[in-house]
Amino acid sequence: MNKTPITLLSFLLCCLMLHAQDSSFIQLNKIQFNKQDTVEFSCSLSNYKTQNIRYTTLHVWIENVETNKSWKFRYPIINGESKASFIIDSTLTNGKYALNFLVQKSFFSLEGQIKNYDTLQKNINYIMFTKDDNSYLNTFTPDENGTFRLKGILFQDTATFVFTPSAKNIENTLILDIKSPLDSFFSADTAFSQIITIEESKNIAANQPATNTIPLHSNYQFDYNKFYDKTTLPEIIVKGKVKKKIEQFDEKYSTGLFKNDNAKIFDGIESDQITRYTSFIQFLQGRVAGLNISPIANGGYKLIWRGVSDFRGGSNVDIFIDEMRMDPNSFDFNSINPADIAMIKAYPPPAYLSAGGSRGAIVIYTKRGDYEIEAKGKYKFKIFGYSSPEIIWK
């Protein structure tokens, strides 16, 4: 019989018992609320400041005392401080809710292993696409067994992580197993629970202060198993439109200067033309009027848009991946799997996407959201990060 869950639960309950009276680290603005009020709370850990513990995590697990419906959120604690708020939606049921605050001496990180890691590859690239369409590119080196740990990552809600070899590969076939310690193992360093009431009553004072001495509901008992491995995120509703999928994608993911209508667009969602090539640069050859693409000695390419200065023999075309400009001296044109490309935009000069504005630009958008496909191998993951500091609780 596997005794690990029992041992883990026992350890957690011991933590809760040890710290049940340690309530001074949480402050609530009040304990009785009307619909559409804001529940504000702050966390202050003075001992973490004195011990120079800079990054930890605050879990807020909420449960309706009568119905047992639950919500689960988490927030970064930086230098012993954290603050957030819930706006109570009008659809939330009246009643008593237990707010369980648990501090974990861990910060978000990713641990994993590349099952088919080739030590000759050395470095592995990863791109993180956040829910608000920002992207972040970095490189790491696994050990000889393919294991790795990525630290210091902070993002809200969910993000998509895509791992690719740094070496020039025709196809990305990496197979990874990854986990976040925040989700895979939990232990509370300190904890506190508070019952709040939500009701439509004129008798509730607008600024009634919270007191951490009010006892819990007599019938309420905190049950760790109700919350573990459950995550509640804001609901996303996607409505159908008459526009083509590529038009919908362009409208949703192109931002700022990248909304320039002067670009020539290639469809990677409903058309399979891009996927028939080993790289997007090979696909583009001969398809964009005025754009000359020629290979150079280091395995890269020189891109020249005719009629514009070639800047002393170098390329005069910028490359962007999900609107993030790539370093032309180190960018691997084969690092993006053609099957992962949703859209390519080719902007003739002057594109006004970089300093001076006189250069041309090629912008690659990778598939995400409803346009994402199942990949060959296992190198793309959706990960839950930290909750937004202000959310609508419903």
Answer whether CATH 2.40.50.140 is correct for domain 245-371.
no
Dist. CA 316–CA 183, nearest whole Å: 46
Dist. CA 265–CA 215, nearest whole Å: 62
**Tens digit of pLDDT at every position of the chain (394 positions):** 344 333 333 334 444 433 433 457 899 999 999 999 999 999 999 889 888 889 999 999 999 988 888 888 999 999 999 999 999 998 899 999 999 999 998 898 899 899 889 888 788 988 888 877 677 888 999 999 999 999 878 888 888 888 888 876 556 788 888 888 787 666 778 888 899 999 876 555 555 554 444 444 456 666 665 665 544 444 434 444 467 889 999 998 998 889 888 899 999 988 878 887 878 988 998 899 889 988 887 667 888 888 655 445 567 888 899 888 887 666 778 778 888 899 999 999 888 887 767 888 999 998 887 777 555 567 777 788 898 899 889 8
Q: How many other C-beta atoms are found inside a 10 Å radius of the C-beta of residue 313?
A: 7
**Burial bucket for residue 365 (CB in 10 Å: 0-12, 13-18, 19+):** buried
Rounded to 5 degrees, φ, ψ at 207 are: -120, 30
- Domain 4-107+184-232 homologous superfamily, CATH: Macroglobulin (MG2) domain (2.60.40.1930)
User: What does R_g of the chain's alpha carbons equal in angstroms?
Assistant: 26
Task: Report the amino acid identity of residue 368.
Answer: R
Same-fold call for 4-107+184-232 versus 245-371: no
Strand partners, 100: 61, 193
Task: Report the amino acid identity of residue 126.
Answer: Y
- State the pTM of this model: 0.58
Ranges of each domain in the chain: 4-107+184-232, 110-182+377-384, 245-371
